Structure 1
Amino acid sequence: MKKAILYILLLSQTTLLSCSKWLDVQPESDIDRDILFTTEEGFKEALLGIYTRNAKTDLYGKELTIGTTEVLAQNYKIKPFDRPKYLATKNYRYDDADFMQRKDAIWLGLYSGIVNANLILAEIDQKQNLFTAGNYALIKGETLALRGYLHFDALRLFAPAYLVNPEAAAIPYVTSYSNKTTAMSKVKDVLDSVIADLEQAKELLTDDPIRKSSYIIGYPSADTLTNTELHDKSLFLQNRRHRLNFYAVCGALARVYLYKGDKTNALANAKIVIDAKKFPWTNKTDFLQPDADKKDRILYKELLFGWYIPSLNNEINISTFSDPAVDGIYLSDDDVKSIYETGGAGGSDMRFTQWFSGLNGTEKTIQKYRRNPVGDTFIANKHYLMAPALRLSEVYYIAAECTYEADPDAALAYLDEVRLHREIGDKVKAANLSEFQTELLKEYRKETYAEGQLFYAYKRLNKPIIGFQGEIIPASQRIFVLPLPDDEIIYGER
């Protein structure tokens, strides 16, 4: 019962019954909790363990990035043989066994991270004397941010959108390591709790090393004049964008406030990121680089935060996942051209030219996360292999949405800024709010393709899901709200 990390899931907590497989999670560490939290290094290990767990394929290493959420957003075509077993998900058959297994694993994984965050938070305040420099504030801030971030994604998947029903029963917001049942919270109350955790995290991360003027964002192999992310003598303080840093927390707050309809606070947090000018737009030559070893496929320097997934190729065999030749996921030429509107200025969109490769000239596969094969192994690209979690461009989209009703020209300028850096010269046109939202959703699809964010945007705005060639799937809570796991209903008495 005392094993420290990822040992047991405490979400529906009627009791810790050994007969309930639902509550069992294999440990990442066999260190006894009483030992782990006696040193600063133990707290660091516990925190990094949460990030490692979240990057597995049932969460951000696949399903919440290139998998389930993208399928729900109608971002793929799937051949009838359906080797990846996503066709029922694409058709919103939520009673399908493969969908239920993945959906339940997502719930279990999110709450596993939440429980382990609570383990850290239960110990850290009374052991502040263990920490050197600013590591207490850094570790507590990141842990609170993780707890809020994971609850928010559980909310976005398993509860009605705030716009539709803020009073609806949503999910349990778990804040303690306990064998007590955590009651279900309303949508609005979950959002308030997420915001409270993120705001406290933001305050604790005020002195985050990433905020220093000497911290310059760049590629891992860049010279020291253009990248200082690896300069700190402490490995724990390097590569802050691989974890929930100060700016990532501001971006997360902007995302959450927008979901709640609080555009004032959403814009304020978006502006912190934009005005800091910390994150440079990707250089065109890096994105278009013909030498694959020097190519930036994911617009790496624009990531506020991402999940480190170095084994993505090996764990999910992405070449099979996105390869129609082996009955994988794919798009037709016309589908890709429709997304990027290549009949006009979109023909020069760098994302269109770089993120997809052709098969027999008619079918496209996804290249966004591909690494460069050398024999049976893969060598690094110009950047670390990351699953993007928060992008600079999304912060611009949030600012645009928060600004439109008061200043449409300023809002469209935010969208045009992103388009300019993707080599789209013409400007977005929108005569009213409805047209603006349509254009905004198009930009989300172009920018966050295979990153899992489009489905949430449709849900937040309660807008129809649009297929590649204009097919319309009406907005519906039956589609937007994933069913709770059966065991959560039973054991949690939901």
Structure 2
Amino acid sequence: MKKIYRTIVLLSATAVLGTSCSDWLNVYPSDQIKEEFLFETGNGYRAALNGVYRKMASWSIYGSNLKWGLIDAWGQVYDMQLSTIQHGGQAMVKIEGLDFKHYELVSATDQMWNDSWNVVANCNELAQQAEQADSTLFYGGELERKMILGEAIGLRAYLQFDLLRVYAPSLAMNPEKRTFIPYVNEYPSYVNNRQTVSYCLEQVIKDLKRAQDLLTEVDKDVRWNWRFNEETNDEKKFLSARGYRLNYYAITAQLARVYLYANMPDEAYEQAAILIEQNSNFEALVGNAGLKAIKNGNVKMFDDIIFALYSPTDQVEWDRLINHTSDTAEGSSEKDKFLGITAEIAERRYGDDLETDWRICYQMEKKNIDDYCTMKYYQQPESFAYSEDNNQIVPMLRMSEVYYIAAEAIYQQDLETAKKYLSHVKKTRGVITDLENVTKDNFMNVLVNDAQREFFGEGQTFFMFKRLMRTMKGREEVQATEENMVLPLPTSESEF
């Protein structure tokens, strides 16, 4: 594989020292500078870390492609016949149909590949610098140094895990000793040999465990009900808003996710149980209180989110372009174009819960009489009670997924506890279902169906079906094969 390049950027000083809300999250890269100057001050480290998060929130990575865009179209989440072919829609149409060599799709996936490795390289440089940095450089001293180091290591693992899930087969597909992508943990990295799936998973787990150790002390006293708010207007601002950062609890949830993908259910359950025991910290999955909130506009159910990226303007603008540019006047004979599902797909996925499940009643809206359009990224007016949070949050890890992981990890040994975990999620989504007659033989069918509703527009559906080697069902059925579920490497990498 070719040398992975990166550019370290300096953000303006307001990125960490400004007085207005979310300044440090909201500033884009401005001036390129030499890295030796960047890492001379604590502000330079802060700017470098902020640049990583901002790049991850860009369209090519989690702003679209690995969130509600390409990856969900690939997972047959939508019926792409309802969508426009403008504003990225054409690439989504092509990946839904498995046309991996179409030029518009190749252009999009090549950029995703290049930008993702650029972020990994930035993480590696930042981690190496933070590893040896003098703690007196930082306003928060040794605790802040550990925070930056832990997040950099965790983020490189987070992103490379998703690249592995896109460009390599799952363990259920028997990849054996074949090699697919590298795992890169140093900078500069001139020779990056492709590795086996098992090797990459081992490295992801190793990095996440190191990050978890580093962040344990950092996040032990965080006020989690304020995790998406800045608590101060001075230099401590950088140490707040931990929900927008890969915090200790997010690392723990990601470890559970990775362990499950690596077919290590006992380890996955151990990590999930840590979070379930701490659920009161998040006030997540809170039943009727959640119903009141979602009725008042909390369509992303952000109380359930452990980690999110910050996208104050781009996300809602992209939603407007792909979902609302073609909105027609009431009574028009023309059909709207949008990302969504038909009544037939909705009936299949929601069944008897079609009129009660909050995830379709409040997270979607009716269009073209019988079709459903996602509302998760729709820009709410400022007068709405939850507009500030809903308009800028890109969900990355949820407590609901943690409960799914725990349930799947133990259902073979303890079906009743597994059913309690699944029932808890369903109940807090408005679905009161008696699981008494659910057996070990059909438990996973019930769980997968619920997770498919939960993950709509959040990029996890495809990965779930790939891990389990289950047929994906949207407008068409897509068989769970390596041919259908592994994206070819960019042409530029094929000779290496």
Q: Name the TM-score, length of structure 1 as normaliser.
A: 0.85
> Which residue of the partner structure matches residue 455 of structure 1?
462
Task: Give distance in 2, aligned partners of 1:135 and 1:313.
Answer: 29
Q: Deviations over 1:112-142 (max 9, x none)?
A: 1100001112222222332314011111000
Q: 1:142 aligns with which of 142, 151, 169?
A: 151
In the alignment, structure 1 segments of 5+ residues that lack a partner are 7-25, 221-227
Aligned match for 2:394, one of 387, 390, 404:
387
Secondary structure of the residue that 1:298 maps to in structure 2?
A: coil
- 1:409 equivalent among 408, 412, 416: 416
Q: Which amino acid aligns with 1:371?
A: Q
AA aligned opposite 1:36: L
39, 42, 51: which one aligns with 1:40: 42
For residue 11 of structure 1, what is the aligned residue in structure 2?
none
Contact kept, 8 Å, 1:346 with 1:424, in 2: the verdict is no
CA gap of 1:170–1:337, structure 2 versus 1, over 3 A, is: same
The answer to whether the Cα contact below 8 Å between 2:253 and 2:271 also exists between their aligned partners in 1 is yes
Equivalent residues of 2:58, 2:64 under 8 A apart: yes
Q: Work out which of the residue numbers 65, 76, 80 in structure 2 matches 1:63.
A: 65
Residues 1:154 and 2:160 are matched in the alignment? no
Matched, 1:476 2:477: no
Deviation of 1:383 after TM superposition, in Å, equals 4.4
Q: Which residue of 2 aligns with 1:302?
A: 304
Secondary structure of 2:395 counterpart: strand
Unaligned runs of 5+ in 2: 11-27, 328-334
Q: Deviations over 1:351-394 (max 9, x none)?
A: 1110111124222221111122479xxx9345462111100000
1:205–1:246 CA contact under 8 A, matched in 2: yes
C-alpha contact 1:400 1:415 (8 A) present in aligned 2: yes
Compare 166-175 and 235-244 and name the one that shifted more: 166-175
Cα distance in 1 between the residues matched to 2:293 and 2:411 = 36
> How many residues get paired?
455
Corresponding residue of 2:123: 117
In 2, the alpha carbon distance for the partners of 1:241 and 1:69 equals 24
| 1:445 alignment partner in structure 2 | 452
Residue number in structure 2 paired with 1:96: 102
- Quote the residue 2:201 is aligned against: 191
Deviation digits for residues 238-293 of structure 1 (CA, Å, limit 9, x no counterpart): 110111000000000000011111111111111111101222125545555588xx
- The C-alpha deviation readout for 1:34-69, integer Å capped at 9, x for no partner, is 100011111111011100000001111111111011
Q: Distance in 2 between matches of 1:72 and 1:482?
A: 10
C-alpha separation in 1, matches of 2:468 and 2:144: 39
Q: Which amino acid aligns with 1:489?
A: S
Asked if 1 retains the 8 angstrom alpha-carbon contact of 2:6 and 2:119, the reply is no
Give the C-alpha shift of residue 319 in structure 1.
5.3
Structure 2 counterparts to residues 256-335 of structure 1, below 5 A: 256-277=258-279, 278-281=281-284, 284=288, 287-288=291-292, 295-313=297-315, 315-318=317-320, 320-321=322-323, 325-335=335-345
Instruction: Report how far residue 187 of structure 1 moved.
Output: 0.3
Distance 1:390 1:299 in 2: 12
Asked whether the 8 Å contact 1:58–1:109 carries over to 2, the reply is yes
Deviates more, 1:89-98 or 1:392-401: 89-98
RMSD: 2.7
Alpha carbons of structure 1 residues 313 and 243: separation in structure 2 relative to 1, 3 Å: closer
Report deviation, 1:219.
Answer: 8.2
| Identity fraction in percent | 27
Contact map agreement 1:465 1:475 (CA 8 A) in 2 = yes
- Is 2:492 the counterpart of 1:487? yes
Q: Does the Cα contact within 8 Å between 2:127 and 2:149 map onto a contact in 1?
A: yes
Q: When you count helix as a share of all residues, which structure comes out higher?
A: 2
Of 231-240 and 300-309, deviating more is 231-240
TM-score (norm. length: structure 2)? 0.85
